[in-house]
Amino acid sequence: MAARDGRVWSYEYLRVAAAFSVVLYHQKGPCYWLGVAGLSLFLLISFSLLAGSKTDAPLGAFAASRARRVLLPWVFWSAVYLAMNLLRQWRHGTPFFEPWMVPAGFSLHLWYLPFLFTASVVVYAVRQRCPAVDRPAGVGVCAALGLAVFVANAVLLPTVIPVHQWLTAAPSTLFGQALGRIGLGRAARPRWAATAALLAATAAVCAARFFIPGRQALDAVMLLLGLALFSAAGAVRLPDTAAVRLLAPLTMGIYVVHPLVMDMFVRAAGASNTLLRVSLVFAASAALVYCMRKAPVLHRFV
pLDDT digits (tens, 9 = 90+) for 14-71: 999 999 999 998 887 777 777 889 999 999 999 999 999 999 999 999 999 999 999 9
Quickly count: other Cβ atoms within 10 Å of residue 214's Cβ: 6
Give residue 214's pLDDT. 57
Q: Measuring CA to CA, how many Å separate 49 from each of 34, 171, 257, 299? A: 24, 16, 24, 23
Q: How far apart are CA 10 and CA 37, in angstroms?
A: 16
Residue 63 Cα to chain centre, angstroms: 19
The answer as to whether 133 is a domain residue is yes
Q: What angle do CA 122, 167, 232 make, to 5 degrees?
A: 85
Burial per residue of 71-110, b for 16 or more beta-carbon CB atoms within 10 angstroms, e otherwise: bebbeebbebbbebbeeeeeeeeeeeeeebbeebbbbbbb
**DSSP one-letter code for 93:** -
* The pLDDT of residue 5 is above 60: no
Question: Whole-model pTM?
Answer: 0.91
Cβ-based neighbour number of residue 9 at 10 Å: 22
CA 282 from chain center: how many Å? Answer: 16
The residues, ordered by sequence, that sit 6+ positions from 2 with a Cβ below 8 Å of its Cβ are none
* Helix ranges (DSSP H) in the chain: 6-27, 37-51, 59-66, 72-92, 101-104, 112-129, 136-156, 163-182, 188-209, 218-234, 242-247, 251-269, 275-294
Count of structural domains, the chain: 1
Q: Is residue 229 domain-resident?
A: yes
Give the pLDDT score at 28.
79
Structure confidence by residue, pLDDT tens digits, 87-140: 877 777 777 778 888 889 899 999 999 999 999 999 999 999 999 999 999 999
Residue 1 lies in a domain: no
pLDDT of residue 47: 96
> Residue 200 corresponds to which amino acid?
A
Which helix (H) or strand (E) element contains residue 98?
none
Give the residue among 118, 77, 83, 96 at the shortest CA–CA distance from 256: 77
Residue among 157, 155, 164 at smallest CA distance from 209: 155
Q: What is the pLDDT of residues 188-238, one digit of tens each?
A: 888 899 999 999 999 998 888 777 665 557 788 889 999 999 998 888 878
| Residue 54 is assigned to a structural domain of this protein | yes
User: Is 124 a member of any domain?
Assistant: yes
Q: Is residue 150 part of a domain?
A: yes
Considering only CA atoms, which of 280, 277, 284 is closest in space to residue 28?
277
Q: Which domain holds residue 121?
A: 6-301
Residue 65 maps to a domain: yes
